[in-house]
Structure 1
Amino acid sequence: MDVLCKNSIELIQYARRIAVRQINLVQLMTFYSLGRWIVEVEQQGESRAKYGKQVIQKLSEELTQQFGKGFSGETLKNARKFYLIYANRISETVFSLFAVEKSKTVFSFFENKPPFTLPWSHYLVLMRIENENERNFYEIEAARSAWSVRTLQRQYNSSLYERIALSRKKDEVLRLASEGNVVSKPQDIVKQPTVLEFLGLEEKEKYAESDLETAIINKLQRFLLEMGKGYLFEARQKRFTYREDNYYVDLVFFNRLLRCYVLIDLKIDKLTHQDLGQMLMYVHYFDRYVKLPEENPTIGILLCKEKDDALVEITLPENSNIYASEYKLYLPDKKELQKKLKEWIAEEEGL
């Protein structure tokens, strides 16, 4: 009986997931098709701007009279925009099968790789992103990490794409648009800067490191979301003893994707060479006495209010696996980060 109940529950859960995905895909294909037809009719008009408004208004009135709510002028404008942005996602054959022939066989084309993987509400957010590479990045990450609309909006507002891009090499920046944020090496988990606006701490001249640490622990789930993929929390103020002296690491995580420990130290002031040396000692200790033989070398991250890249470079040995990232208690200026990213890419291309 227990096996019957277990199998039945799993079957129903599976069936519901399939139904939700199917319904969502049908909705997106419908909006795509409506958007395409609107564009095709508009292109026949003498004055596209004026004629376009008339087309959408007339269609909205007809569909609302026939089906009720759900086909306002604003919704049809979004359908039009959806088609214009994602026009290359669906082949002529698939469009014809779905919108013209209304054939059920069209879904056989989507079994392995559906053209759209997110709900309509997510695409309403994505369509507001002008840069195609950035838009593709957020679509991949939202689908891969099952972001809610609220999370997608927060990640966009926090300039996740620009912050990851500024931490990468030029060829890796171009891959973000097609692959998303693939975590394969230590540098992939570092962002510049790290945004901690969700902690709710005021931006002020002085507060204790324990205040920052406590705020992070209280909102650990959102901190893990900001840090990225694969993080498992192990301890705060992790103590270890070496030659009768006690040392404390602020936050200890394990990253299951990189298969290594990640040590995080919080610094409320400007980063110093002593801070870097201390983290270097922490990393060496974990590598020699804590990590298992099959695990990868430990990563150290210093979250600081201010850092000097030249100081970091001259203090740390090459391939030290230690990284410094400034934290911000407010959302960064997106336009400023976009400008910085453009300048950085232009500089890389010049080199």
Structure 2
Amino acid sequence: MKIEIKKDIYQEIHDLLHKARQNIISNINSTMTKTYFLIGKRIVEEEQDGNKRAEYGKKLIKTLSEKLTKEFGRGFSQRNLEQMRTFYLRYSISQTVSAEFKLSWSHYLILMRMEDIDARKFYEIEAIENNWSLRELKRQVNSSLYERLVLSKDKEKVKELSVKGQIIEKAQDVIKDPYILEFLGLDEKSDYSENKLETEIINKLEMFLLELGKGFTFVGRQVRFTFDEKHFRIDLVFYNRLLKCFVLIDLKIGEVTHQDLGQMQMYVNYYDRCIKLPDENDTIGIIICKDKNDTLVKLTLPKDNNQIFASRYTTILPSLDEFKKIIEE
């Protein structure tokens, strides 16, 4: 006799198995990464106890590679053993998070290339806390997330990034300038409309949420509200769970104007007075524009403004030098 399985019990068992598999994979990754660290440690110790000359180190790694490959198969090429050695040298100084090696070996291959220890620690913490895939880590590194956050903080707060990662406590903590939208596939010089920009963002919503940062959930596109028989539409509406507030986004393919800022102020006021619940925080409005005049923005908005922001965007992935130039301009 065939019985019908209730959906809830199936889902519970499904979730248990999925979590178990994830834990197994995580444990395997952690064990292998720690093993590679110890292999690197042993190679360095042998070089120091034996002969410090570079020739000895090369011969040591070559001999180890041949023997290990013969017994254990792929994964122990000279290049891989050199990376294990580098891994140990990069992480031999005790670090609170690093000592646990919670990421995969592939993640650490990216992290160990960073000369800036503070940046390396930041990306490691964020990758662990946000469960970044390898692709997501690469994207955040390539889009200079750490450098962009550093520019918006004072010296004391900058140091916190390498110890605690990104802390979201106020509106300014979620704002980036510029936003890097290279994943949209729009050429920097191509002619596209605001509707096209919006459509591409929706099509690549997962990547856009990654660029927005922690705590964002999507609410709607072209969200309409009406008062006094007049209709208005907000390009994109999100909610940030960490700040407990709505985040309204308008897209501008040109330079932001004082009219754009005034319109966003009206959107924010409407949400604060008519939409948000008593226990939710003030609404944030972000105009993501191709260009802006900082003086105009400051003069248009109140001195104590902490709700309305204008940030530039670029549809190309700049190099670090190009990125610094964008900021200076």
TM-score greater than 0.5 by the shorter chain? yes
Relative distance call for 1:308 and 1:7 in structure 2 (3 A) is closer
Matched, 1:175 2:180: no
Residue deviations 1:313-336, cap 9 Å, x none?
111011341111100000122134
Q: CA deviation at 1:8?
A: 5.6
The CA deviation string for residues 15-42 of structure 1, in whole angstroms up to 9 with x for no partner, is: 4333323222221121111111111111
1:285 to 1:88, Cα distance in 2 relative to 1, 3 A? same
Instruction: Name the counterpart of 2:66.
Output: 61
1:194/1:29 Cα in 2 relative to 1: closer, same or farther (>3 Å)?
same
Q: Does 1:77 align with 2:63?
A: no
1:242 pairs with 2:247: no
Q: Give unmatched runs, 5+ long, in structure 2.
A: none
Residue 47 of structure 2 is matched in structure 1 by 42
Match of 1:200 among 160, 181, 185: 185
Alpha-carbon distance in structure 1 between the residues aligned to 2:9 and 2:270:
51
Is the Cα–Cα contact under 8 Å of residues 258 and 296 in structure 2 kept in the other structure? yes
1:263 counterpart residue number = 248
Q: For 2:110, which of 104, 125, 144 is the aligned residue?
A: 125
Match of 2:233, SS state, is strand
Residue 205 of structure 1 and its aligned partner are, at CA, apart by 6.4
For the 8 Å contact 2:172–2:306, the answer to whether it is kept is no
Per-residue CA deviations over 1:65-102 (Å, capped at 9, x if unaligned) read 222222111111011011111113489xxxxxxxxxxx
Describe how 1:122-161 pairs up with structure 2 within 5 A: 122-161=107-146
Secondary structure, aligned partner of 1:43: helix
| DSSP 3-state at the match of 1:304 | strand
Q: List per-residue Cα deviations over 1:225-247 (Å, max 9, x = no partner).
A: 11112112122122222323222
Show structure 1 runs of 5+ residues with no match. Answer: 92-109, 344-351
CA contact 1:258–1:296 (8 Å) conserved in 2: yes
1:333 maps to 2:309: no
Secondary structure of residue in 2 paired with 1:27 = helix
Task: Indicate yes or no: 2:214 matched with 1:229.
Answer: yes
Residues 100-131 of structure 1 deviation map (CA, whole Å, 9 limit, x = unaligned): xxxxxxxxxx9xx9611101011011111111
> Is the 8 Å Cα contact of residues 250 and 264 (structure 1) preserved in structure 2?
yes
Amino acid at match of 1:88: I
Q: Shift of residue 279 of structure 1?
A: 0.8
Percentage of pairs with the same residue = 52
Residue 270 of structure 2: aligned partner: 285
- The TM-score normalised by the length of structure 2 is 0.90
Residues 324 and 50 (structure 1 numbering): CA distance in 2 closer, same or farther, change over 3 Å?
same
Name the Cα RMSD after superposition: 2.5
Whole-angstrom distance in 2 between the partners of 1:88 and 1:333:
29
> Structure 1 residues 242 and 142, CA, compared in 2 at 3 Å: closer, same or farther?
same
**26, 51, 75: which one pairs with 1:21?**
26
What is the alpha-carbon distance in structure 1 between the residues aligned to residue 10 and residue 231 of structure 2? 53
Counterpart CA distance in 2 for 1:298 and 1:286 is 7
Shift of 1:203: 1.7
Once residues 14 and 280 of structure 1 are traced to their aligned partners in structure 2, the CA distance between those partners, rounded to angstroms, is 44
Aligned length, in residue pairs: 322
Quickly say closer, same or farther: Cα 1:293–1:130, change in 2 above 3 A.
Answer: same
Q: 1:141 to 1:320 in 2, by over 3 A?
A: closer
1:214 equivalent in structure 2: 199
The answer (yes or no) to whether the contact 2:217–2:241 under 8 Å persists in 1 is yes
Paired amino acid for 2:179: T
The verdict on how the C-alpha distance between 1:7 and 1:250 changes in structure 2, with shifts beyond 3 A counting, is: closer
Report the CA distance between 1:140 and its aligned residue: 1.0
Contact 1:162 1:337 in 2 (8 A): no
